[in-house]
Amino acid sequence: QKEVEQNSGPLSVPEGAIASLNCTYSDRGSQSFFWYRQYSGKSPELIMFIYSNGDKEDGRFTAQLNKASQYVSLLIRDSQPSDSATYLCAVNSGGYNKLIFGAGTRLAVHP
Residue 21 CB, nearest approach to another protein (Å): 16
Residue 27 CB, nearest approach to another protein (Å): 16
Strand partners, 29: none
- Alpha carbon distance 42, 1 (integer Å): 29
Interaction of residue 101 with another protein, rule CB under 8 A: yes
Sheet holding 4-6, edge to edge: 4-6, 19-25, 71-76, 61-66, 54-58
Residue 43 CB, nearest approach to another protein (Å): 4
Interaction of residue 87 with another protein, rule CB under 8 A: no
Applying CB under 8 A, among 21, 23, 30, 36 the residue interacting with another protein is: 36
Interaction of residue 92 with another protein, rule CB under 8 A: yes
Of 5, 7, 63, 58, the residue nearest 34 (C-alpha)? 63
Smaller CB distance to another protein: residue 5 or 17? Answer: 5
The answer to whether 63 and 76 have CB atoms below 8 angstroms apart is: no
